[in-house]
Amino acid sequence: MKRILWIGILCSTLMILSNQTFAQRYLKSKRLSDEANISAKILDDSHWMIGFKVGMNATMVQQDGFHSVLSSVGQNNEEEKAYTTVTNNISPNLAAQFFYYPVRFMAISVQPTFANYRYGYETSHKWLPAESGLETVRTNYKHQHSLNYFEAPMLLHFSLSKYPFRFFVQGGMYYSKLLNANKTITGDKSITEGGLTTVTEEKKKFGIDNQYYDSFWGYTAGGGIGFDLYTTRLSLEVNYKQPMMGITAPDGKYDNLELVSSYYDISDDLSMRNIEVSISMAVPLDHIGQVYNRNSYKGKKKRK
C-alpha cells in the first residue's frame, strides 16, 4: 500500500513539474508571439521610414564609337585596345533612404547616393620604321578610370509579402551629377634604335572631368528581400541602372594634350550600365516612441 502511495506521489510530482514546464514554455512563446505582433503592427502602421544602405557596383561599359590618335600618323603603325571585364570594374556606393508609405504595400522612396564607378582598358602601340636602321617605338599602358557621382534616385517600392520576410520590387528614375573623374595610367614605353632598346616605366594620374558629361538622367529597376528584426528592417537588394545617354562628352576628348601626345590616348564614345548589390537597414519614424515603449502600442489595430 505504501509503495502504491509513493508511486502516486511521484507521478503527481512529475505531472506538476511537466505542467509547469509546459506553462513556462507557453508563456514564453506567447510573449515572443506578442512581441512579434507588436513589431509587425509598428512596421505596418508606419508611414515614414528612414535608413541607409551600402553596396557594390559592377560597371559595364559599351564602346559606341572608337577614336585613335594614330589615324593620321601613317600606315606603319599598330594599335590594340581591350576593355576590362565587369569583374574588374567593382566599386562601392553609400546611400541614405527615405520611404513614405501612403498605403501599407507601396512606398515612394528617395535615396541620395554617393556612387563610384570604375572601368579600364589596356592599350598597346607600335610604330614601325619606314626604313631599316630607324627607331621602333612600342608602348603598353593600363588605363584605370574612377568616376564619382552624387545621385538622387526616386523610386516606387512595392512589397509583395508580409512580416517577417518581405519580398519587394522597385523601379524609377535617377538624376546623376558628376563630382570628379580621375584616370591613372601605368605601363612602359620602349624605343629600339640600332639594336639598343631603352625601356621607361611610367605611372601618372590625371583629372579628366572635362571628358564626361556634367550630369544625366537614368532609369533603374530591381528587387530584393527584407527581414523585419523587431522594428528594424534589414534588406538585401539588387538593382539595374542605366543612363539615358552616353557618359563621355565629345568636346573634351582632346583637351589634355599630355594624354594625347605622350600616352596616345583619346576617349572613346562610351555608354554605361551597372548592377548594384546592396544591404540596407531602415527604422520607422512616425512610431519611434512605440519602438521603445511597446506597452503603449498593445491593442491597436494594423493599418489596412
The pLDDT tens digits of the residues spanning 260-278 come to 888 888 889 999 999 999 9
Q: Which of 8-22, 87-101, 179-193 has the lowest mean pLDDT?
A: 8-22
Over 50: is that where the pLDDT of 8 sits? Answer: no
Over 60: is that where the pLDDT of 18 sits? Answer: no
Considering the chain, what is the average pLDDT of its residues?
A: 80
Over 80: is that where the pLDDT of 186 sits? Answer: yes
Q: Which three cell numbers stand for residue 293?
A: 515603449
Over 60: is that where the pLDDT of 293 sits? Answer: no
Contact predicate 277/224, CB 8 Å: no
Which pLDDT band holds residue 30 (cuts at 50, 70, 90)? very low
Polymer length in residues for the chain = 304
Distance CA 60, CA 221 (A): 16
Type of residue numbered 193: E
245-246-250-256 Cα dihedral, nearest 10 degrees? 140
Tell me the three state secondary structure of residue 268.
Answer: coil
Contact predicate 159/168, CB 8 Å: yes
Which pLDDT band holds residue 74 (cuts at 50, 70, 90)? low
Mean pLDDT across 177-195: 88
For 205-247, write each residue's pLDDT tens digit. 999 999 999 999 999 999 999 988 877 889 999 999 999 999 9
Q: Which of 21-35, 43-57, 193-207 has the lowest mean pLDDT?
A: 21-35
Instruction: State whether the Cα torsion 178-184-185-187 is positive or negative.
Output: negative
Q: Which three cell numbers stand for residue 304?
A: 489596412
Type of residue numbered 273: R
- Could you tell me which of 166, 125, 155 has the C-alpha nearest to residue 240? 155
Contact predicate 143/84, CB 8 Å: no
Contact predicate 251/197, CB 8 Å: no
pLDDT of residue 37: 61
Contact predicate 92/53, CB 8 Å: no
Distance CA 182, CA 186 (A): 13
Contact predicate 216/176, CB 8 Å: yes
pLDDT of residue 24: 44
Do strands 165-193 and 196-207 pair parallel, antiparallel, or not at all (unpaired)? antiparallel
pLDDT of residue 3: 52
Q: What residues form DSSP beta bridges with 223?
A: 169, 238
Q: What residues form DSSP beta bridges with 16?
A: none
